[in-house]
């Protein structure tokens, strides 16, 4: 079952169960995917969004909501922060399990070996290997410095 099918099934179930907040979040996900399809059509790619692209969209959505929740908490708007955190919960259902710190270190070591990386100049190759295998399973912003440490 593709990511798109999983999302459509969840959307139908949320409608039947009258889960208003969950339904709202699922509709936001679908809107983000449709926006990406429209952008791809303009680039001449036929407007097809695959599972990897959907995972990237979901990852961005989670990151945006984490930042919003943090800002709301700092501003004393706890009810809005809770809403953002609830949306993160719904979006996260469709993301693969996040790797633990030990698993991330092992994945980096394996990617360095696979890419044949020997210096910091090879960081792009290592990151490409990691992104190909672990999209949605690790935060690449946090992984970059770890790759540098292992290569340096």
Q: pTM higher than 0.85 for the full model?
A: no
Asked if pLDDT for residue 117 goes beyond 70, the answer is yes
Whether residue 105 sits in one domain with residue 62: no
Whether residue 136 sits in one domain with residue 71: no
Which of 52, 71, 92 is the endpoint of a domain? 92
Which of 92, 112, 140 is the endpoint of a domain? 92
Instruction: Please state, in angstroms and rounded to a whole number, the distance separating the CA atoms of residues 125 and 120.
Output: 10
For 52-94, write each residue's pLDDT tens digit. Answer: 888 889 989 998 999 999 999 999 999 999 999 999 999 999 9
Look at the chain and report how many structural domains it folds into: 2
Q: What is the extent of the structural domain holding 114?
A: 101-151
Whether residue 110 sits in one domain with residue 86: no
Whether residue 52 sits in one domain with residue 16: yes
Asked if pLDDT for residue 45 goes beyond 80, the answer is no
Mean pLDDT of 5-30: 95
Burial (CB count within 10 angstroms: exposed 0-12, middle 13-18, buried 19+), residue 130:
buried
Cα 68 to Cα 53, 71, 75, 77, 86, distances in angstroms? 23, 5, 10, 11, 12
Whether residue 129 sits in one domain with residue 58: no
- CATH no. for residue 56? 1.10.1510.10
Whether residue 56 sits in one domain with residue 28: yes
């Amino acid at each position: 079952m593709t990511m798109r099918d999983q999302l459509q099934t969840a959307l139908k179930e949320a409608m039947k169960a009258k889960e208003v907040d969950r339904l709202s979040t699922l509709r936001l996900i679908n809107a983000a995917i449709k926006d990406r399809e429209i952008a791809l059509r303009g680039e001449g790619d036929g407007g097809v969004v695959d599972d990897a692209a959907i995972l990237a969209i979901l990852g961005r959505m989670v990151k945006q909501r984490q930042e919003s929740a943090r800002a709301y908490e700092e501003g004393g708007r706890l009810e809005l922060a809770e809403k953002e955190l609830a949306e993160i919960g719904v979006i996260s259902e469709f993301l693969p399990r996040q790797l633990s710190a030990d698993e991330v270190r092992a994945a980096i070591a394996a990617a360095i070996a696979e890419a044949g990386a020997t210096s910091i100049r090879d960081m792009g190759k290592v990151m490409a290997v990691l992104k190909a295998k672990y999209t949605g399973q690790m935060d690449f912003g946090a992984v970059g410095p770890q790759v540098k440490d292992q290569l340096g």
